[in-house]
């Protein structure tokens, strides 16, 4: 009988511990389910945030691309204006230089002619005489 009571007691203790284990598993299962729900909510929140970031970055890239295009266009236009201004300046500078050179050459030519007239001699070469329509002076042969 003692053995039977011991076996019954052991069975009762085993059943109680089994019931406690099942109860703990149910509690753990409920806790795991709660954690799984929280994780799903966080995952959905993260997915929404990523979608917002993707849209925002696409918009930013579009605006940056437009700004770069506008800046490049502006730079090209400014470069073209500066090049045109430089070309105009250079053209005026060369034109002024040629005019000053022509004036100086004409003044020098007039002085040489005056000196030649004063001295009674001609400093014209056969080439300049032909260009001016003059006949070469006596004793100077025309070169061909």
Prediction pTM value: 0.41
Q: How many CB atoms lie within 10 A of CB 125?
A: 12
Q: Rounded CA gap, 133 and 50, in Å? A: 92
pLDDT digits (tens, 9 = 90+) for 86-141: 999 999 999 999 999 999 999 999 888 888 877 765 556 655 555 555 554 555 45
Q: Rounded CA gap, 64 and 52, in Å? A: 18
Where are the chain's structural domains?
2-121
Q: Rounded CA gap, 34 and 99, in Å? A: 96
**Tokens linked to 38:** 């929280």
pLDDT digits (tens, 9 = 90+) for 23-41: 777 777 777 788 888 888 9
Cα 139 to its chain centre, rounded Å, is 74
């Amino acid at each position: 009988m003692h053995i039977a009571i011991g076996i019954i007691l052991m069975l009762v203790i085993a059943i109680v511990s089994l019931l406690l284990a099942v109860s703990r598993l149910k509690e753990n299962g409920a806790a795991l389910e709660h954690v799984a729900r929280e994780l799903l909510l966080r995952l959905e929140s993260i997915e929404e945030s990523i979608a917002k970031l993707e849209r925002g970055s696409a918009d930013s890239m579009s605006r940056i691309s437009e700004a770069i295009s506008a800046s490049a266009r502006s730079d090209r236009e400014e470069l073209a204006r500066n090049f045109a201004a430089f070309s105009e300046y250079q053209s005026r500078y060369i034109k002024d230089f040629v005019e000053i050179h022509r004036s100086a050459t004409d003044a020098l030519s007039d002085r040489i002619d005056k000196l030649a007239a004063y001295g009674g001699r001609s400093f014209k070469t056969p080439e300049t005489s032909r260009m001016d329509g003059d006949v070469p002076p006596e004793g100077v042969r025309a070169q061909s």
